[in-house]
Amino acid sequence: MKSEFDIVIIGSGMGGLVCADILGREGYSVCILEKNKQAGGSLQTYVRDRVIFDSGVHYLGGLGEGQNLYQVFKYLGLMDRLKLQKMDEDVFDKIIFENDPKEYVYAQGYENFIQHLLKDFPNEEKALRTYCDKIKDVCNKFPLYNLRTGGDVNEKTPVLSIDLKAFVESITDDRKLQAVLVGNNMLYVMQGNKTPLYVHAMILNSYIESSWKCIDGGSNITKYMVQNIRRHGGDIRRNTEVKKIVVEDGKVRSVQLADGSHVYGKNFISNMHPVRTLEMTETELIKPAYRSRVKDLENTVSSFIVNIVFKENSFAYLKNNYYYHKDGHVWDPAAHTEANWPLAYSLFFATSSRMDKYAESMTILAYMRFDEVEQWAHTVNTVSNETDRGEDYEAFKKRKAEKLIDLVQEKFPGLRDAIKSYYTATPLSYRDYIGNDDGSMYGIAKDYRNPLKTFISPRTKIPNLYLTGQNLNLHGVLGTTMSGLVTCIALLGNEDIIDKIRNA
């Protein structure tokens, strides 16, 4: 087995896959080392009762012809192979609230988005147009997001420090409209008085431009990218855990695996959380002050998931998602207590090639902090390392699942009667499969008060060690794809790849 490569990539999340696919096309020999049985990070899927569930990718934005993710996927040869379903153009997300029977609609296309919200807020056209114009303006400040080369880093600096909450409250006094405009904030774990407008803008913009679901699960993205990587001579090794990044003479020489063997390379890219990367890297080139700064950055919260399998032909399939908020908690949806949990939830319907008008399954997602499962943190449970966490853990999951289902049932009468079976996941599941020590959904939380502090460069103080993944810029498929591009540009030393993607 070959033991030396041009590029060694630790982790096969979307950022790592993008780097491997692009750099393989550029003629580099590439090796991905993945600790789990399945590649893909949050693109992983799993099957229960013969039904496919996504672990993280429930829908995608920006896949309309000529849009940013479309162009990258076109360049990577994915658009002609992926089976995609466009969500309802007049409603891709519905925002719902406790004690309010209305369902507030997010529609695709900016004018369509405005016109649908005007039905519920007829006197707020100025606010809605100001809101949409600002989102587009903010997004336009990020060259790579728009696949532009030669961008000036100062171009985006003025918008990095805009407070999302302050902006929304400045354009309208209508509290319900304020809540609706940030209603799908579980996409980025909003924290009032912390979350920057740019995070909200770049994520929401992609879905307003166009919203899609992957038929039969997001792992098909992984499957086709793995095929691409191998076709260009790349090596992907699963069940291969990296334990140490070995630095010699001021450069990374190799990574040491769990079995004690080494994989050597000229350049190394870590798709792991930066904290985990630094913990594995013993060198004086990385100063203690920098290690401490990165370690002290706050991560986004984790989640609790209930994956439901429906009885046949029992629950209608809807081509939209739902986001629910309890009264008064839209700006702090993760600040729950044991008594009032959950303060928010989201609903996603999986899309299967076997179904027609009835849903096969549904995913319910609610926030959960890692400290709520801390007592079982010493256990690790994956497909390749199965562990019984104990009866008390199973009882905890069942209690939480039943409470969450009861809350959803209030808005969806008949839900319980339609359930054939359900399965749960906790922050421990995220930790064990995705790799963040605290099960964080989206990695490092961005902060408008000190935006540069939460920006992680793809370069490190070690000249041949690079970073990629959701902690660099944004999370999600679009965010990690862009992070992969940032890392490739840093390693290649030019932006030629952007021209190739834009002209694909």
Alpha helices in 258-378 (DSSP H): 274-280, 288-295
**pLDDT tens digits, 63-103:** 999 999 999 999 999 999 999 999 999 999 999 999 999 99
User: What's the token pair of residue 91?
Assistant: 């409603």
User: What's the token pair of residue 394?
Assistant: 């199973």
pTM of the full predicted structure?
A: 0.95
Distance CA 401, CA 379 (A): 21
- Classify strands 361-368 and 344-349 as parallel, antiparallel or unpaired: antiparallel
Crossing angle of helices 14-25 and 219-231, in 10° steps, is 30
User: What's the token pair of residue 33?
Assistant: 């080392």
Q: Which amino acid is at 436?
A: N
Evaluate whether 77 touches 224 at the Cβ level (below 8 Å): yes
135 SS3 class: helix
**pLDDT tens digits, 25-43:** 999 999 999 998 889 888 8
Evaluate whether 271 touches 11 at the Cβ level (below 8 Å): yes
Alpha helices in 325-423 (DSSP H): 391-411, 415-418
| Residue 63: Cβ-neighbour burial (10 angstroms; 0-12, 13-18, 19+) | buried
Distance CA 500, CA 498 (A): 5
Strand partners, 260: none
Q: What is the mean pLDDT of each run of 10 residues along the chain (504 residues)?
A: 92 97 98 92 85 87 97 97 96 98 98 98 98 98 93 85 98 98 96 95 98 93 97 96 97 97 98 95 95 94 96 94 97 95 96 87 96 93 81 97 98 96 94 84 94 91 97 91 97 96 94
Contacts from 287-290 at CB under 8 Å and sequence distance 24+? Answer: 287/461, 290/461
The predicted pLDDT at position 121 comes to 98
Please give the CATH topology (third level) of the domain spanning 4-42+68-82+216-297+453-502: FAD/NAD(P)-binding domain (3.50.50)
301 SS3 class: coil
Evaluate whether 277 touches 467 at the Cβ level (below 8 Å): yes
User: What's the token pair of residue 334?
Assistant: 């993760």
What ranges do the domains of the chain cover?
Answer: 4-42+68-82+216-297+453-502, 106-209
User: What's the token pair of residue 475?
Assistant: 């999370």
